[in-house]
Amino acid sequence: MNALKNKVQLIGNLGNDPEIINLESGKTLAKFSLATNESYKNANGEKVVDTQWHNIVAWGKTAMIAEKFLDKGKEVAIEGKLTTRSWEDKDGFKRYITEIVCSELLMLSK
Structural domains present in the chain: 2-107 (2.40.50.140)
CB 85 within 8 Å of CB 99: yes
Backbone dihedral angles phi then psi of residue 19, each to the nearest 5 degrees: -90, 120
Q: What are 35-70's pLDDT values in tens digits? A: 999 999 999 999 999 999 999 999 999 999 999 999
**Per-residue pLDDT at 4:** 72
Whether pLDDT at 24 is above 70: yes
**Per-residue pLDDT at 109:** 73
Whether pLDDT at 9 is above 90: yes
What is the average pLDDT value for the chain, to the nearest integer?
93
Provide the whole-model pTM.
Answer: 0.86
